[in-house]
Structures are given as structure tokens and as C-alpha cells.
Structure 1
Amino acid sequence: MKIEVGDILEGTVIKVYPRYAILLFDENVTGLLHISEVSNHYIHSFTDFVKVGNIYKVKVISYDEKGPSMRVSLRALNTFEKRESIAHYSVKEDNISCQVLKERLPEWIKEENEEKDL
């Protein structure tokens, strides 16, 4: 995988710290996303914004082949690219089921009633 500064890549967040996150890209290349590279606006809680498992399209702002590691930025993307990167994807209704709730609700009601009787 040939990576150059300015490339736009898709990575998955594998670790989040208070001021930065580590993203994993193809071929085990990692990238650091610093809080200052997320937005032009103040971010109160980086860990509320970036979560493990999130997938982002980011722009490469520096790359070290020896690592291989890089620094990446959401802020450097243009408006369209940024909107596409953090878009929320809808869940198909077929994937939503209340079956577990239906099965467990009577049990929860019983437990709640028993606690009130104590």
C-alpha cells in the first residue's frame, strides 16, 4: 500500500485516549488522530466524539514509512468529504427486533415487584 501525504484513507478507531485516537488502516498501518485535527471548533470531550469501532475517512498529513505510521486529520477534509466521513448510516428495519425485550420483560416486572415487596 503506497501512502502519500494528502491521501484520503478509511480507518477504524482501535484505541481512544483523552486527546488522541489510534486508527488502523490496511496492511496494519496505524494513524494518530489528535484532538486538534478533528474540528476547527472546540471539542469539549474527545472521548465522547471518537469511539472505538468508528470508521472515519481521514486525510494523511504526515507519513513515516519506517513505522509504518502516520498522522491523520478530519479537519483537513473539505466540507463534503467531512460530511461523508462522519455520516450516520441507517439500520434496516429487518435488523431491529424486540424479541429479547418481549422475552425478558415479564422477568424484569417480576423482579421489580419482588424488590418493592421487600
Structure 2
Amino acid sequence: MKYKIGDTITSTITGIQSYGVFVALDKQTQGLIHISECKHGYVTNLEDMVQIGDEVEAKIIDIDEYTQKISLSLRATEHLPIPANIKPKRHRRRRYTPQIGFETLSKMMPTWIAEAQQDEQIRIAEMSDR
């Protein structure tokens, strides 16, 4: 096979489906550009983007080694403009203050001790009744 992954080639569109665009790489070889690889962002209708017979420049992103199917990408050849005024996101530091701490334990401890003593007295009384 004369095509390699990473090659950028000019191909002719031969068919448009809802899931992608078929292109002819040469007379014997055909490839597919999946709808997700047509452009950056969301594509609603491929027919608004390309027409049968159009020549497009696409990059080979995958070749199936068993079926020799070729996957191409149009968006891999696009250059996204980088905004000049990117401001770094400022992160505010927050102190972690737990809602429940030792204060709750110190308030509840006398109640728990009293309950445990009552339970112990009930057990002792039950054992002496036997």
C-alpha cells in the first residue's frame, strides 16, 4: 500500500452519507471522512459543507491492517486560531474548615456516657433477677 498514516493528500468527494463523506484517493482506493472528523465543532449537515466532486485536502489518520480501509480527517488539516488575549484562570484559595469537629463530640460525650451507664444498670438488674 502506498499510503501511510499522517500523509496529507488531495482527494475527490464521491459520496455523502449521514455519518461521513466518501473520497477517492486514486482510481482504486477509497476512504472515509467520518462526520466527527469533518471540522472542529458540531456538524449538522454535511451537504452544506461539501458537495460531490469537490476536491479536499485531508490527512490519513488510520488504516485498518486487515480490511485496508482508510480513515481520513479534514479537521486535522485545519489550524485553529489561538486568541491573543487569553487570561490565565485565577484560582482562589479556600481554607478547608470542617463542619463537624471535636466540639460536637465533647457536647455529646456526657449523653453517651449516661446512656451506657443506664444500659449497664439494666443488664445488672436483669442478671440479678435470674
Please indicate, yes or no, whether the TM-score normalized by the shorter chain is above 0.5: yes
Deviations 1:40-76 (A, max 9, x none): 1111211221210011010000113654430000111
Structure 1 residue 20 displacement after superposition: 0.6
Q: Which amino acid aligns with 1:5?
A: I
How many residues get paired?
80
Which residue matches 2:62? 62
Q: Is the 8 A contact 1:25 1:31 kept in 2?
A: yes
Deviations 1:84-110 (A, max 9, x none): xxxxxxxxxxxxxxxxxxxxxxxxxxx
Task: Let me know the Cα RMSD of the aligned residues.
Answer: 2.0
1:4 paired to 2:4: yes
CA distance change for structure 1 residues 10 and 36 in 2, over 3 Å: closer, same or farther? same
Which residue matches 1:50? 50
1:23 paired to 2:18: no
Q: RCO greater where, 1 or 2, for CA within 8 Å and sep 6 or more? A: 1
CA distance in 1, matches of 2:78, 2:21: 21
Greater helix share, 1 or 2?
Answer: 1
Which residue matches 1:90? none
SS at match of 1:36: helix
TM-score norm. by structure 1 comes to 0.60
TM-score norm. by structure 2 comes to 0.55
Which residue matches 1:38? 38
CA distance change for structure 1 residues 38 and 46 in 2, over 3 Å: closer, same or farther? same
Which residue matches 1:93? none
Unaligned runs of 5+ in 1: 81-118
CA distance in 1, matches of 2:68, 2:28: 8
Mark the structure with the bigger radius of gyration: 2
Unaligned runs of 5+ in 2: 81-130
